[in-house]
């Protein structure tokens, strides 16, 4: 009896969840579909959903025109590089704030966030002038540093929240067993914090991947990522929706696939059944 | 010789060529350009250039217009030195040239033939007698209309219509039930969007942005007439949501057969007559932009041009490229590979004298006439202290033009009256001009 | 002894992050403050020291300033409301067992992967356009007059677009938090016959409090700097000009670095006031 109810409930949940999921995903689906249309069909009246002449010409065109893989490689290098660097700096900081909170911990956290509040365009000229003076314009190192710095407060914050979820009893138990701080971090905390770190990493890769102000203004050729690739397809004179859709699909695809593979990890969250 | 050996030898030749090419390339130039069709074609022909000049390697930075403008302006004003060739327009050239930020182009090769350039275009790129940028393609604006709808309405479009005729035709062609709107015009806020159109239109109504002492003129009757006429046209015969329509939105509407008339850039002619994209390709006619009998027409003038920034470390190579891309030879190269209809228009008299082009581009004559009808150095009925037809070539204009454009866009959206919009525009302009030290 | 030791160790561990951020903050900030006291207009070739508070005065007294602050507050508030409420509901839904959980989750998260410019272009042209947009067809199909989203309700339309982009973020964070919810406690409450609503308000919501705080704080930071969506859709017209957009217009469109820098500094001050205010309201959740 109870089982039947669960199945019915599960069926209803399934229908509702899928309906909402598809609704939310629809604009992206539409973009992907548009990428297989011709420019004329992309603005056709009435729009056709599936019954149009599927074509790959947009993808061929985009591939002919720009070196997609160079942009892709740069995006990967910048987003992964800046996230890893950020994690290396943020993990100790967040750990310390979560487990050894001082009187000013909250102030420090707030201050970190406040560094993100200066409108990017307000500091554009200072940063450009610094980059020019140091001669690091259009280099990986500049972009990795900038992306790391703008996302560092977010990384610290997210890690801090995840770490706070780890019950203090576990640490005390470990200390009782005579574990030093190093063992404490390596063998007790890290395994527990891993899901939190993983979702922080993924979220920050996405944030860095989509960052379109600094990556456009501080790169020219060598370090230009997919945001620059997209900017070369949006809003020219003439019709562009199909080509832009193809370029967008190519820009979204890698990160969508990454998300696909890591979504379980991403939402596994923090489970501490063992302690309670 | 078997097919294999031939292929092998071919491969060797290519490899050898590539190797020598790589060795000889000692200068790399970085070119910033807009992602419009003509520039994309230029990018596609890079190999032709490097084959002629194996010692020069070319890197492209192709960006959307607004991003590009932001990028190159920041670069030039901070002397960032990231680009060796920049694609800029007739708005930037006079300002940057006067600041000494651009290399003068007075030492171009003889066969480049500066005297062949259309005088209106050349005038817009010249500061104190020195040419600072080479025009890549030029455009004016004109009326594009549906010949079938015009016929059905029992009217005939003159070659040089008046605004009153435009209104009459718009009323006759509008058929809201079938989603056919008599006239499509720009409404999206921006100095290069609705203000390009409105400023050009205001010239034909006898209005001007500033008088000789830089006093803003939005409180004049000429401006009130312009804005009221525009709002009246758009509210009665325009498409819904026009306040967010720019060039591309209107192009899409026209290509779907939803506009009776469209007054916009001459380059649109090749899009709307292209049967691959346009459902109305075979029934499009062209006419000069309208006037009010005051001696000026409502058409603008713009030229995307290639300029070499003063701080470049590859001046020689950059100029070589600019000369190549804006030469008559380049036009012929495009004609050979892509057909005459696809050559960059609007810069050289020789192109319009060419019978092959006249045949391939039915809009050629009207484009040339529109360009020649614009005079950036003398744009308005009454004298003004500035150059520029649809803009005022002062650094403050970008910001001011966009803010004023927002007021008119809001008026078109029905959020305020024409009087309120003009009052705000006047106040904004006075504030800006005072702060900038003109008055 | 041990605490003293771990305290100093903690300080060492925090210091790299603090030093980096301090450098990142101080160098550009000091330069921006310096610029804000200059008459600095590179396109005119003007760079003169020092004009006192003239730039600040001009920025604050211009008619667009107050308007832009209000617009910013409405926009950020609206988006927060939609994403937080929507995020909680979605998180609870996705936490239930159902077929194809993994696929639906990725569908829901996907909008976060789309670059802001692209999503704004797609929404504006393919959905909200009153002639060609899918919404217009839907309205016509239902026999209604197509609604002109971006002129009739521009602020709401932008809120909708940005909410669509940020809903996945809120959902993701809240879903992670929901996972750690003690299901035994919930089941016990269900056994006791506690109604759904009170279970939600007394067990689920308090548990999610910290995650909600994080969502609000992190999103606020990003939302205060919304740019691409406004730029693509309305160009700042029809009362959609936020403070960030105003600063953009001053710095890049007008190329008045002095005025723009002053605007930037004012934006930082206001943003920090909002942050402190937020911390007062929601920050206590962090202490639990």
Q: What is the pLDDT along chain A (276 residues), one digit of tens a residue?
A: 344 557 888 899 999 999 999 999 999 999 999 999 998 888 877 777 888 889 999 999 998 888 899 999 999 999 999 999 999 999 889 888 888 887 788 778 878 877 777 778 888 888 999 998 999 989 999 999 999 998 998 899 888 877 887 777 777 777 777 667 677 767 777 777 787 788 788 889 988 998 988 999 899 989 999 999 998 888 888 888 899 899 999 998 998 888 777 776 666 544 433 232
Q: Give me the residue spans of the domains in chain B.
A: 3-138+302-360, 139-300+385-435
Angle between helices C63-95 and C54-61 in degrees, nearest 10:
70
Which residues in chain C touch residue B424, judged by CB atoms under 8 angstroms apart?
A: 63
Contacts of C265 in chain A (CB under 8 A): 122
Q: Which whole number is the average pLDDT over B164-190?
A: 94
The average pLDDT across B102-106 equals 94
Residue A258 lies in a domain: yes
Position C218 scores a pLDDT of 83
Residue of A nearest to C172 (CA): A267
| C-alpha distance from A83 to closest chain B C-alpha (Å) | 26
- Per DSSP, the three-state class of B391 is coil
Supply the pLDDT for residue C81.
Answer: 96
Tokens of C215: 């969502």
The residue whose two tokens read 């000494």 is B100
Judging contacts by C-beta atoms under 8 Å, the chain C residues touching residue B241 are 129-131, 148, 150-151
pLDDT over 60 at B389, yes or no? yes
Identify the burial level of B194 via C-beta atoms within 10 angstroms of its C-beta, where 0-12 means exposed, 13-18 middle and 19 or more buried.
Answer: buried
Within a domain: residue C170? yes
| Chain pair A-C, CB pairs under 8 angstroms | 295
pLDDT value of position A261: 77
Cα distance between residue B287 and residue B126, in whole Å? 29
Query: How many whole angstroms separate alpha carbon B429 and alpha carbon B265?
Result: 26
In the prediction, which pLDDT does A266 show? 64
Structural fold of domain B3-138+302-360 = D-Maltodextrin-Binding Protein; domain 2 (3.40.190)
Lowest mean pLDDT among B8-12, B393-397, B424-428: B8-12
d(CA C200, CA C204): 5
Residue A120 lies in a domain: yes
How close, in Å, is residue A146 to chain C by CA atoms?
9
CA distance B295 to B379: 10
The confidence score (pLDDT) of residue C228 equals 86
Among A94, A93, A104, A107, which residue's Cα sits nearest to residue C279?
Answer: A107
Residue B172 has pLDDT above 90, yes or no: yes
Confirm or reject contact between A154 and chain C (CB < 8 A).
yes
Kindly list the distances between the CA atom of residue C34 and the CA atoms of A121, A133, B77, C259, C269, in Å, as whole numbers in the listed order.
16, 18, 18, 11, 16
CA distance A170 to A188: 8
- Indicate the residue of C63, C132, C249 with minimum beta-carbon distance to B402: C249
Q: For residue C182, is pLDDT > 80?
A: no
Chosen from A110, A122, A236, A254 to mutate, greatest number of chain C CBs within 10 A: A122
- Provide the residue range defining the domain that includes C273: 62-287
CA distances from B138 to B300, B305, B362, B367, B371 (A): 11, 8, 17, 9, 8
Q: Report residue B70 as tokens.
A: 């932001």
- Tokens representing residue A18 in the block: 């899928």
* B residues 243-282 closer than 8 Å to C (CB): 243-244, 249, 252-253, 256, 258
Residue C201 half-sphere exposure, CB side, CA atoms within 13 Å? 4
Neighboring chain A residues of C272 at a CB cutoff of 8 Å: 114, 117
Q: What is the mean pLDDT of chain C?
A: 85
φ/ψ of residue C105, rounded to 5: -60, -45
Tokens 């050996």 sit at which residue? B5
CATH assignment of the domain containing C124: 1.10.3720.10
Q: A234: domain CATH number?
A: 1.10.3720.10
Q: What size, in residues, is chain A?
A: 276
| Residue of higher predicted confidence among A174 and B109 | B109
Tell me the sheet residues that pair with B85.
B31
CA distance A201 to B426: 52
Does a structural domain hold residue C228?
yes
Domain count, chain C: 1
| pLDDT exceeds 60 at position B292 | yes
Q: Using an 8 Å Cβ cutoff, are A226 and A209 in contact?
A: yes
Helix (H) or strand (E) holding B91: none
Q: What is residue A224's predicted lDDT score, i.e. its pLDDT?
A: 93
Higher-scoring residue by pLDDT: C284, A248: A248
Across the range C75-89, mean pLDDT stands at 96
CB contact under 8 A, A113 and C113: no
Strand partners of residue B287? B143
* Angle between helices C205-223 and C257-282 in degrees, nearest 10: 170
CB atoms within 10 A of CB A119: 28
pLDDT of residue A272: 38
Q: Out of A188-192, B332-336, B399-403, which region has the weakest mean confidence (pLDDT)? A: A188-192
* Secondary structure of residue B143 in the 3-state scheme: strand
Nearest to A238 among B43, B61, B251 (CB): B251
Mean local confidence (pLDDT), B68-93: 92
CB contact under 8 A, C279 and A268: no
Local confidence band at B368 (pLDDT 50, 70, 90 cut-offs): very high
Among C11, C20, C225, the residue with its CB nearest the CB of A152 is C20
User: Exposure string (b/e) for B34-64, b if CB count within 10 Å is 16 or more?
Assistant: bbbbbbbbbbebbebbbeebeebbbebbbbb
Rounded-to-integer distance, Cα A57 and Cα A72, Å: 20
- Minimum distance, in Å, between the CA of residue A30 and any CA atom of chain C: 9
**What SS3 class is residue A66?**
coil
What pLDDT digit, counting tens, does each position of B38-59 carry? 999 999 999 999 999 999 999 9
Enclosing H/E stretch for B259:
strand B259-265
Chain C residue closest to B434 (CA)? Answer: C58
Element (H, E) at B439: none
Pick the residue of B244, B416, B425 with the most C CBs within 10 A to test the interface with C by mutation: B244
User: In this prediction, what percent of chain C has a pLDDT beyond 70?
Assistant: 95
Provide mean pLDDT across the span B73-99: 92
C123 Cβ contact partners less than 8 Å away, ≥ 6 residues apart: A27, C157, C160, C161, C164, C233
pLDDT of residue A273: 32
pLDDT, residue A275, reads 30
Residue C26 tokens, joined: 């101080």
Lowest mean pLDDT among B16-30, B323-337, B423-437, C82-96: B16-30
Residue C43 lies in a domain: no
Q: Is residue C68 part of a domain?
A: yes
The bridge status of strand B126-127 relative to strand B85-88 is: unpaired
**What is the DSSP secondary structure assignment for residue B162, as one 8-state letter?**
B
Using a CB-CB cut-off of 8 Å, the residues of chain B touching C249 are 399, 402-403
DSSP B304-365: EEEE-BTT-S-HHHHHHHHHHHTSHHHHHHHHHHH-GGGSPPSSBHHHHH-HHHHHH-TTHH
Which structure tokens are listed for C52?
A: 């006192």
DSSP 8-state symbol, B126 = E
A32, part of any domain: no
Please name which of C29, B190, C67 lies closest in space to residue A119, comparing C-alpha atoms.
C29
Tell me, yes or no, whether C200 lies in a domain. Answer: yes
- The string of pLDDT tens digits covering residues B218-274 is 999 999 999 999 999 999 999 998 998 999 889 999 999 999 999 999 999 988 998
Residue B15: the pLDDT is 46
Percentage of chain B modeled with pLDDT above 70: 94
Contact between B172 and B153 (Cβ < 8 Å) = yes
Strand partners, B307: B86
Fold of B139-300+385-435: D-Maltodextrin-Binding Protein; domain 2 (3.40.190)
Strands (E), B81-187: 85-88, 126-127, 130-131, 134-146, 181-184
Phi, psi dihedral angles at C201 (to 5 degrees): -80, -30
For chain A, what is the domain count?
1
- Contact call for residues C144 and A60 (beta carbons, < 8 A): no
CA distance B421 to B425: 6
Lowest-confidence segment of A234-238, B222-226, B339-343, C237-241 by average pLDDT: A234-238
Of B36, B64, B278, the CB nearest to A234: B64
Structural domain including A66 reads: 59-268
CA distance B337 to B342: 9
- Least Cα separation, residue C44 to chain A (angstroms): 16
Structure tokens at B78: 């901070």
């Amino acid at each position: 009896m109870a089982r039947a109810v669960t199945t019915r409930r599960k069926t209803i949940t399934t229908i509702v969840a899928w309906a909402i999921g598809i609704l939310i995903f629809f604009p992206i689906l539409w973009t992907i579909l548009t990428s297989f249309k011709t420019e004329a069909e992309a603005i056709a009246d009435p729009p056709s959903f599936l019954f149009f002449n599927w074509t790959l010409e947009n993808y061929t065109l985009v591939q002919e025109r720009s070196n997609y893989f160079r942009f892709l490689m740069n995006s990967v290098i910048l987003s992964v590089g800046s996230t890893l660097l950020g994690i290396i700096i943020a993990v100790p900081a967040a750990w310390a704030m979560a487990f050894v909170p001082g009187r000013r911990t909250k102030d420090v956290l707030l201050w970190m966030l406040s560094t993100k509040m200066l409108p990017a365009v307000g500091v554009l000229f200072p940063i450009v002038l610094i980059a020019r003076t140091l001669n690091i314009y259009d280099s990986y190192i500049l972009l990795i540093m900038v992306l790391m710095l703008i996302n560092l407060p977010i990384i610290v914050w997210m890690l801090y929240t995840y770490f706070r979820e780890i019950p203090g009893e576990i640490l005390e138990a470990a200390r009782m067993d005579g574990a030093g701080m190093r063992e404490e971090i390596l063998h007790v905390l890290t395994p527990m914090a891993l899901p939190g770190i993983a979702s922080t990493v993924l979220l920050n890769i996405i944030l860095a991947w989509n960052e379109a102000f600094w990556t456009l203004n501080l790169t020219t050729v060598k370090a230009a990522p997919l945001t620059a690739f997209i900017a070369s397809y949006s809003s020219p004179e003439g019709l562009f929706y199909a080509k832009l859709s193809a370029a967008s699909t190519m820009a979204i695809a890698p990160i969508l696939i990454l998300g696909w593979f890591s979504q379980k990890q991403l939402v596994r969250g923090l489970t501490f059944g063992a302690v309670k | 010789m078997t097919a294999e050996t031939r292929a092998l030898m071919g491969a060797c030749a290519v490899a050898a060529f590539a190797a020598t090419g790589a060795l000889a390339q000692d200068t790399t130039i970085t070119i910033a350009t807009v992602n419009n069709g003509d520039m994309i074609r230029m990018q596609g022909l890079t190999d032709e250039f490097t084959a002629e000049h194996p010692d020069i390697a070319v890197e492209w930075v192709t960006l959307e217009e607004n991003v590009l403008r932001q990028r190159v302006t920041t670069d030039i004003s901070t002397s960032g030195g990231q680009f060796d060739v920049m694609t800029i327009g007739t708005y930037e050239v006079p300002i940057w040239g006067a600041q000494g930020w651009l290399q003068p182009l007075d030492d171009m090769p003889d066969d480049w033939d500066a005297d062949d350039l259309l005088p209106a275009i050349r005038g817009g790129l010249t500061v104190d007698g020195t040419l600072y940028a080479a025009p890549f393609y030029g455009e004016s604006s004109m009326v594009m209309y549906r010949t079938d709808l015009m016929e059905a309405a029992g009217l005939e479009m003159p070659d040089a219509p008046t605004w009153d005729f435009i209104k009459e035709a718009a009323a006759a062609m509008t058929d809201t039930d079938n989603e056919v709107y008599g006239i499509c015009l720009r409404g999206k806020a921006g100095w290069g969007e609705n203000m390009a159109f409105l400023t050009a239109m205001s010239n034909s109504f006898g209005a001007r942005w500033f008088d000789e002492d830089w006093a803003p003129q939005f409180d004049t009757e000429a401006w009130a007439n312009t804005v009221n006429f525009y709002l009246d046209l758009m509210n009665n015969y325009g498409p819904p949501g026009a306040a967010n329509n720019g060039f591309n939105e209107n192009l899409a509407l026209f290509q779907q057969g939803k506009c009776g008339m469209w007054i916009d850039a001459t380059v649109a002619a090749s899009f709307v007559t292209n049967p691959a994209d346009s459902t109305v390709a075979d029934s499009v006619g062209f006419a000069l932009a309208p006037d009010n009998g005051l001696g000026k027409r409502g058409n603008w003038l713009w030229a995307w041009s290639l300029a070499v920034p003063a701080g470049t470390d590859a001046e020689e190579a950059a100029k070589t490229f600019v000369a190549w891309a804006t030469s008559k030879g380049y036009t012929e190269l495009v004609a050979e590979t892509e057909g005459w209809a696809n050559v960059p228009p609007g810069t050289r008299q020789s192109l319009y004298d060419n019978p092959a082009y006249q045949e391939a581009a039915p809009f050629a004559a009207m484009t040339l006439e529109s360009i020649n009808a614009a005079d950036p150095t003398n744009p308005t009925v009454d004298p003004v202290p500035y150059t520029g037809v649809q803009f005022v070539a002062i650094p403050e204009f970008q910001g001011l033009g966009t803010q004023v454009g927002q007021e008119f866009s809001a008026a078109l959206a029905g959020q305020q009256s024409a009087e309120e919009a003009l009052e705000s525009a006047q106040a904004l302009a006075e504030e800006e001009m005072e702060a900038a030290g003109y008055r | 002894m041990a605490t003293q030791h771990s305290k100093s160790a903690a300080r060492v561990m925090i210091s790299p992050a603090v030093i980096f951020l301090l450098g990142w903050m101080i160098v550009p900030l000091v330069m921006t403050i310096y610029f804000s006291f200059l008459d600095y207009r590179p396109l005119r070739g003007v760079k003169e020291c020092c004009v006192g508070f003239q730039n600040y005065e001009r920025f604050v007294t211009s008619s667009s300033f107050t308007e832009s602050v209000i617009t910013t507050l409405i926009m950020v508030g609206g988006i927060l409301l939609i994403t937080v409420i929507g995020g909680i509901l979605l998180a609870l839904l996705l936490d239930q067992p159902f077929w194809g959980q993994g696929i639906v989750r990725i569908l829901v998260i996907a909008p976060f992967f789309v670059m802001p410019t692209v999503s704004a272009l797609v929404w504006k042209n393919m959905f909200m356009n009153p002639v060609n947009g899918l919404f217009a067809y839907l309205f016509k199909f239902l026999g209604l007059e197509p609604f002109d989203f971006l002129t009739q309700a521009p602020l709401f339309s932008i809120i909708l677009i940005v909410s669509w982009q940020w809903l996945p973020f809120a959902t993701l964070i809240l879903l992670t938090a929901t996972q750690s919810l003690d299901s035994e406690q919930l089941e016990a409450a269900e056994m006791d016959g506690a109604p759904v609503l009170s279970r939600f308000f007394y067990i689920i919501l308090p548990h999610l409090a910290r995650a909600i705080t994080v969502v609000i704080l992190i999103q606020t930071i990003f939302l205060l700097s919304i740019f691409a969506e406004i730029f693509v859709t309305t160009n700042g017209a029809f009362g959609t000009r936020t403070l960030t957009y105003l600063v953009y217009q001053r710095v890049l469109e007008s190329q008045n670095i002095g005025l723009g820098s002053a605007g930037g500094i004012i934006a930082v001050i206001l943003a920090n006031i909002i942050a402190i205010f937020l911390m007062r309201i929601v920050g206590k959740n962090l202490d639990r």
